[in-house]
Structure 1
């Protein structure tokens, strides 16, 4: 019985996270708030020609470390193949995104609000 209660709680938690993500996306869309998902930011950093990339091999795994300075924003990304392990985005004044795959429960497609940087991203 304890296992079925845990399964129920996990499903409820997952459903609430999905509902929260969808509501957040809808609000940002309606209010025209500049936002992007962790996945979109990661794709941007990986594909940007100015990104600095370092690859390291540990115990048969290839980890990639990306850094990008773009306007007032600093991006740092760690991946293991296509899996996003860590993403940090900082503006001059504060942290915009701090994603860790081992702790964050939100979907990679949940929108993240960006500060108004007067057109600089």
Structure 2
């Protein structure tokens, strides 16, 4: 039983690491750097040609939702006017980036550094 659990944990770690590496490569390809801020990631999502955009007017406030699935990665951005409320990047079940404006203390300009990604 312990071997089975260890095997499942190992597979989950491998899957997460692969997904994380894939996201790092995508960000590097799009930005040309091994780090990107939440704002830069949001801009990438917002300006991608394959993005699905939904606008809703709720209680007199305009919200815009951006969604896209690309190469096994799911991208989500939620904005109120020009304010970034939420940014998610994930694979099937693994979150790579999860930013929430109401709880995250760091600035939108704080870079998310991808130290394991090396320039080719």
TM-score interval for Structure 1 and Structure 2 normalised by the shorter chain? 0.5 to 0.7
Q: Give the Cα–Cα distance (whole angstroms) in 1 for the partners of residues 107 and 72 of structure 2.
A: 26
Structure 2 alignment gaps of length 5 or more:
1-32
Distance 1:72 1:34, change over 3 A: farther
SS across alignment from 1:103: coil
Shift of 1:70: 2.2
Structure 1 alignment gaps of length 5 or more:
1-32
Distance 1:72 1:49, change over 3 A: same
Coordinate RMSD, CA, aligned: 2.5
The number of equivalent residue pairs is 86
Q: Give the Cα–Cα distance (whole angstroms) in 2 for the partners of residues 106 and 86 of structure 1.
A: 13
Instruction: Give me the TM-score of the superposition, normalised by structure 2.
Output: 0.63
Match of 1:52? 52
Distance 1:114 1:69, change over 3 A: farther
Task: Check whether the contact 1:85–1:102 (CA below 8 A) recurs between aligned residues.
Answer: yes
CA deviation vs aligned residue, 1:78-121 (integer Å, no higher than 9, x gap): 0001100011110346211110000101010112245979xxxx
Shift of 1:36: 1.4
Instruction: Give me the TM-score of the superposition, normalised by structure 1.
Output: 0.62
Match of 1:63? 63
SS across alignment from 1:104: coil
Distance 1:64 1:97, change over 3 A: same
Distance 1:80 1:102, change over 3 A: same
SS across alignment from 1:86: strand
Distance 1:74 1:49, change over 3 A: same
Q: Runs in 1 of length 4+ with deviation above 3 angstroms?
A: 113-117
Q: Give the Cα–Cα distance (whole angstroms) in 2 for the partners of residues 71 and 77 of structure 1.
A: 17
